[in-house]
Amino acid sequence: MQGKPGISRRSFLKAAGGTLAASVALRGAPALGGIGANEKIGLGFIGVGGRGSFHLSQFSRMNDVNVAAIADVSEEKRKRAAAGLKGKPVQLFEDFRDLLALKDVDAVVIATPDHWHAICTLLACQAGKDVYVEKPTGQNLRESRAMVTAARKYDRVVQLGTQQRSGPTWIEAVNKVKSGELGKVSLVRAWNCWDLKSIHADMGNPSDAPTPPGLNYDMWLGPAAKRNFNPRHYDFYFYYFWQYSGGMISAWGVHLFDVVTWAMGPTIKSVTTTGGKFVFNDARDMPDTAAILFECPNYVFTYEMRHGNGKDPWGDMDHGLEFYGTKGTIWLNRNGYTYFPEEDRKKSAFVRDQGLDEPHKRNFLDCVRSRQRPNADIELGHLGSIPGYLGNIAYRVGRRITWDGEKETIPGDPEADKLLGREYREPYVLPKV
């Protein structure tokens, strides 16, 4: 069975323009503080591929959650996700807006490709739903800011999937930096690295192919340029094309950038990126090797990303952070953190990680009930996503860019400033907030 053809301009713009919000908000929105202590929270899942299926599995095991509905443009993924619920009733939709119209959906979990994050989040907020949305905030910075605006205008709880914000070990490490225990921090370093055996390796240059049965590929493309189906312009590989994402710099690097922003503040002044496709001659738009220099007040922040060699300084993780201060140093990743006092660096102390994902989801559910802002509130997520957006823009224009954090512009560089947004393929435009 083939998926439905592309959605009509009239029907999508009608929803994006606010008609969906007007018709759904009163029916579907939980009253502020209106979900009782013993009442289950109805969740709808938008996008149930790799990360989305993981979220579905974790949330569905929580005793105060009811999985009410699943939406995905792939019939195969919808059915596979439903089968994982082992017979529990759930409504299935190809079009996520049908899910948003359900009264028994209090909140949604969005794990679509990056270029759909903002559109889904804005329409969910307009429909009166709280939102757990995967990182980064959107495909570009203007979308990211619009997500913050929507959360505030419609008074929604919106949690970004930067789960370090809920990890006890990460909170402890960041507090050491913020409290001054490390002294004056003058250098922060972050990195990602993957070897040739990882899924991040050579993706080849496959030809276009017939659209798989049951897939609405036009809607999957959404605001991106229309094209024939290609296996590398779908599923995990979407990360490596500017039309859909910002590559690992913004999609994975955001976890690291967010922690630096959390610990040091959002204080970028300028950005320089160098890199290229030095390892692979495949279909990707993105560099496979890059280094970013962020100029910040009173300290230097660097980020390195590489594919093709997975050796990191500690030998045990594909990512990490280092904070170097006058009184001490912290090395930090998802294994835990190590503190080195500067007065005697041999007296290091390792603190093992205590978990991230489930505490982050629990924080979200608790905030849906309390109406408090979550640990990774969308505005914090926006600030933590900015370095990745700027790093990519500096790479694409091939020069140093300056950043006005108050106005959120790149002054004096119209070409770079234009890349803070995107052109949308109608009818898949960003809803007005």
Residue pLDDT, tens place only, 11-26: 665 555 544 444 344 3
pLDDT tens across 367-407, in order? 999 999 999 999 999 999 999 999 999 999 999 999 999 99
CA distances from 86 to 79, 221, 429 (A): 11, 31, 37
Q: Which of 142, 162, 182 finishes a domain?
A: 162
In this predicted structure, what is the pLDDT of residue 21? 43
Residue 291: how many CB atoms within 10 A of its CB? 17
Residue 380 in any domain: the answer is no
The helix or strand, by DSSP H or E, that contains position 186, with its residue range, turns out to be strand 185-194
* Contact (CB, 8 A) for 334 and 317: yes
Q: Which domain holds residue 82?
A: 9-162
In this predicted structure, what is the pLDDT of residue 10? 54
In this predicted structure, what is the pLDDT of residue 3? 39
Pairing relation of β-strands 299-307 and 185-194? parallel
In this predicted structure, what is the pLDDT of residue 13? 52
170 and 158 within one domain:
no
Handedness of CA 19, 22, 27, 30 (dihedral sign): positive
With cut-offs at 50, 70 and 90, classify the pLDDT of residue 293. Answer: very high
Q: Is the pLDDT at 4 greater than 70, yes or no?
A: no
For 179-207, what is the mean pLDDT?
Answer: 96
Alpha helices (H) in 17-49, listed in sequence order: 19-28
pLDDT tens across 264-286, in order? 999 999 999 999 999 999 999 99
183 and 142 within one domain:
no
The values of phi and psi at residue 412, to 5°, are 75, 10
Q: What 3-state DSSP class applies to 107?
A: strand
Residue 156 in any domain: the answer is yes
Residue 433 in any domain: the answer is no
In this predicted structure, what is the pLDDT of residue 26? 35
Beta bridge partners of 301: 188, 294
Q: Specify the CATH number for the domain of residue 213.
A: 3.30.360.10
Nearest to 331 by CA among 167, 180, 170, 166: 170
Rounded-to-integer distance, Cα 154 and Cα 29, Å: 10
Structure tokens belonging to residue 406: 């108050």
The label of the residue with tokens 């990460």 reads 170
* Contact (CB, 8 A) for 245 and 33: no
140 and 200 within one domain:
no
In this predicted structure, what is the pLDDT of residue 15? 53
**Mean pLDDT of the chain, nearest integer:** 93
CA distances from 301 to 21, 198, 266, 292, 356 (A): 42, 27, 12, 8, 25
In this predicted structure, what is the pLDDT of residue 292? 98
* Contact (CB, 8 A) for 30 and 368: yes
pLDDT tens across 88-104, in order? 999 999 999 999 999 99
121 and 87 within one domain:
yes
Q: Which residue has the higher pLDDT, 180 or 314?
A: 180
In this predicted structure, what is the pLDDT of residue 11? 60
224 and 196 within one domain:
yes
For 51-71, what is the mean pLDDT?
Answer: 97
Q: Which of 137, 162, 187 finishes a domain?
A: 162
With cut-offs at 50, 70 and 90, classify the pLDDT of residue 235. Answer: very high
pLDDT tens across 316-346, in order? 789 999 999 999 999 999 999 999 999 998 8
Residue 312 in any domain: the answer is yes
